[in-house]
Amino acid sequence: MTQPFLQIQGIRKEYGTVVAVQNVNLDVEKGEFLTFLGPSGSGKSTTLYILAGFDNPTAGDIKLNGATLLSTPSHQRNIGMVFQRYTLFPHLSVGENIAFPLRVRRKPKAEVDAKVRQMLRLVRLEGYEDRKPANMSGGQQQRVALARALAYDPPVLLMDEPLSALDKKLREEIQYEIRRIHQQTGVTILYVTHDQEEALRLSDRIAVFSKGVIDQIGTGPELYANPATRFVAEFIGDSNFLPCEILSSAPGRASISICDTMTVPDVPMHGSASGSKASVMLRPERLFLSKASPDKGVPVTVSDITFLGNNIHVVTRTGKGHELSVRLPFGHEAIAGLSRGDAVWLRFDAEAAHVFGDSR
Ligand code: ADP
Ligand code: MG
């Protein structure tokens, strides 16, 4: 078996009585773009800082090419880092900022100059060498920070919410730049964000953090199609949840009853339920509406219809008041003649449903 490039093994970090992260296990491939995604306070930065060596874990190990990094001080780990706030040296020019990590490593001047030019080209800031950071936009400053972090060819680059101080348009522009730079350099990137769209756009794989643990690791499509926990299902993409009753279950599957009106056999089930009560998750684009009474379905009332260009968003309500969003493609036959207040049937395929028990 080949050696994983970067290994995070059983990491736990306590701050006094606060357990910031626990049981974090992760193998990262060389050249991979892996994102830590999760809400504020879920332990993303803590894990990243332990990798950077700013902090030591309470338990666990991290290994690069099979050797522990914990005994190596931060500045000798050769790991690049870019933070949310621009951390450029304000009194140094752009060129001097990028040259800084090379000067610290006592590289010859000719090599430093060549590298600075190469890095400026990489982040598309040729001609800005003599500017001071204060005279540049936020997006440009983050590109300088990226150039500086990559200047000494670190095998791993860590980025902690590097775009969250920028506005949406600039953020998307730099996301595209980061993707290009990742592809051009082949550097392994560990990236932190709380923005699911950013994570989906950038990453090869995503580790979803919740309350100090990783709930699930996978590609964007894997997490979307097969969320391991209710939290992942809610955090990635849009989702509807309805209470349901478990009629029978086998490992990973369940037959359920919804709203006392619809029985769905053999639905994928995640976690286990302590009793017969559980929740069923349905993605808005996997639901259908029909006016004719079908063999099976949930009776709902249409409470709102919104035209969104390429799709139409229909909000429906069950008899018990549970709201369900339905997204139909523009021109879908079910839309014709549909108006607010209509009583319709909601349908879906069993494979589109996911049951979540109340215990993991
Ligand atoms: P994230 O980056 O996902 O927003 P953090 O890793 O920063 O989350 O924080 C995880 C948890 O650890 C939070 O509850 C936070 O308050 C706590 N924490 C982080 N750093 C410290 C610290 N230096 N001292 C005490 N608690 C901390
Ligand atoms: Mg953070």
- The number of distinct structural domains making up the chain is 2
With respect to residue 1, please indicate whether it lies within any of the assigned structural domains.
no
Same domain assignment for residues 192 and 341: no
Task: Please give the span between the terminal C-alpha atoms of the chain, in angstroms, as a whole number.
Answer: 31
Question: Domain of 77: which CATH number?
Answer: 3.40.50.300
Question: Helix 138-150 vs helix 168-185: angle between axes, to the nearest 10 degrees?
Answer: 20
Closest atom of ligand 1 to 36 CA is 3
- Structure pTM? 0.92
The reply to whether 219 and 88 lie within a common domain is: yes
Q: Please, where are the H alpha helices in 29-106?
A: 44-52, 94-104
* DSSP strand pairing (156-160 vs 79-82): parallel
Kindly state whether residues 116 and 22 are assigned to the same domain. yes
Bridge pairing between strands 156-160 and 188-193? parallel
Question: What ligand has the least distance to the C-alpha of 14?
Answer: 1
pLDDT tens, per residue, the chain with 360 residues: 678 999 999 999 999 999 999 999 999 999 999 999 999 999 999 999 999 999 999 999 999 999 999 999 998 998 999 988 778 999 999 999 999 999 999 999 999 999 999 999 999 999 999 999 999 998 999 999 999 999 999 999 999 999 998 888 889 999 999 999 999 999 999 999 999 999 999 999 999 999 999 999 999 999 999 999 999 999 999 999 999 999 999 989 999 999 888 899 999 998 877 788 999 999 999 999 988 766 678 999 999 999 888 899 999 999 989 999 999 988 877 777 889 999 999 999 888 999 998 655
Examine the fold and report which residue of 179, 210, 231 is the final residue of a domain before the chain moves on.
231
Domain final residue, candidates 199, 231, 263 = 231
CATH number at residue 312: 2.40.50.140
User: Which residue's CA is the nearest one to ligand 1's atom 27?
Assistant: 15
* Residue list, ligand 1 pocket, CB within 6 Å: 15, 18, 20, 38, 40-46, 209
Rounded to the nearest angstrom, the distance between the alpha carbon of 48 and the centre of ligand 1 is 11
Asked if the structure places residue 85 within a domain, the reply is yes
Q: Which residues pair with 264 in a beta bridge?
A: 256
Torsion of CA 289, 292, 295, 300, to 10 degrees: 50
User: Is there a single domain that holds both residue 222 and residue 95?
Assistant: yes
Tell which atom from ligand 1 comes closest to the C-alpha of 192: 2
243 belongs to a structural domain: yes
Question: Which among 12, 22, 24, 46 is the best mutation to test ligand 1's pocket, defined by most ligand atoms within 8 Å of the CB?
Answer: 46
Could you tell me the residue range of the domain that residue 202 belongs to? 6-231
Q: In 10 A of CB 33, how many CB atoms?
A: 21
User: For residue 277, is it within any domain?
Assistant: yes
End position of a domain, from candidates 231, 257, 273: 231
**298 falls within a domain:** yes
